[in-house]
Amino acid sequence: MDASTARPGLGRVVVGADGSPSARTAVMWAAAEAVLRGGTLYLVHAVDTDPPSPFLSQAEILRSRQAGQELLDRTAEAVTARHPELTVVKELTDGSAPDGLRRAAALTGTIVVGHRGLGGFSALLLGSVGLEVAAGATTPVVVVRGAAEPGVVLAAVRDEHDMGCARAAAHEALLRKVPLRLMHVWGVGLSAGSRAAPSNGGEEITRDHVRAMAFVSDLIREELPELTVHADGQKSRSVPGALVDASHHADLLVIGGRRSPGYLGPTLGRTTLSLLQHAHCPVELIPRQGPGHGSTS
């Protein structure tokens, strides 16, 4: 079945193919995800010749398109060899890679991108295509990085505004037939020379965070009683650090976008960017304003 009949909340899977090792890894992850969803895999390659460059002749543009089509054909053959039951659609676009991926994803698809790094510190950094796609996300985006450890889908949640993230993670856990771990981390720290906060105030803050965590976990358990849900709340001096540590033991880390779509600066907060750059497993970003990602409705 295609996206129209796939499990609610999970649309078509779209992945970029550019021949790099990172992209090949992303393609195979996306293919396995499409098989789990019972849908179709959309392979996209962008030649980025629209508008035509004044430095490229028409013959060079045609050669670029031909090379792109051959790359798509080879990539599709590799996917089919591993997943013969999967339908693969190849899309060659003259525009940029982010634009081509967004068009193929339409309103509900999931975009999959590779993690670009060539070694050293650069291996920790997300490539420009991945950053642009994540920053402007209106549908889910998966950055394939690290070595997934099957056994649990991890979701970072804070309150009822992250119900969309929790629901998406729950559906991913159901597909994989593994438990869902909802993790709520709140920051703590002492200013220089200060004493510990009064115990009563600290206890009240902790109770507030526990209540927020319980609201989300209870609602997921009510909606999906067949799913095993673990709720884990903890305080840490580094919220991103605690989540990165937890990603060591996850098949997938699902996080929610907390800001409106737009430019890079306003859309990727510190925690989100840290997880996209440093997590030890694939990371799925669920935009706050995407279809089906409301708070409690």
Half-sphere exposure of 141 (CA within 13 A, CB side): 28
Q: What is the pLDDT of residue 51?
A: 65
Q: SS3 helix, strand, coil % of the chain, rounded to 5? A: 45, 20, 35
How far lies 6's CA from each of 101, 109, 151, 225, 230, in Å?
20, 11, 23, 20, 26
Helix (H) and strand (E) counts for the chain? 9, 10
DSSP annotation of 235 reads E
Q: Which of 105, 126, 104 is nearest to 115 (CA)?
A: 126
Biggest distance spanned by C-alpha atoms of the chain = 74
Cα–Cα distance measured from residue 286 to residue 293, given in angstroms and rounded to the nearest whole number: 8
Percent above pLDDT 90 for the chain? 50
Tens of pLDDT, residue by residue over 74-95, are 999 999 999 999 999 999 998 8
Q: Does residue 12 surpass a pLDDT of 70? A: yes
What are the strands, taking DSSP E only, across 64-167? 87-93, 110-114, 141-144, 153-156
Of 184 and 60, the structure prediction assigns the larger pLDDT to 184
Tens of pLDDT, residue by residue over 116-169, are 743 434 444 567 788 888 888 889 999 998 777 778 999 999 888 899 999 999
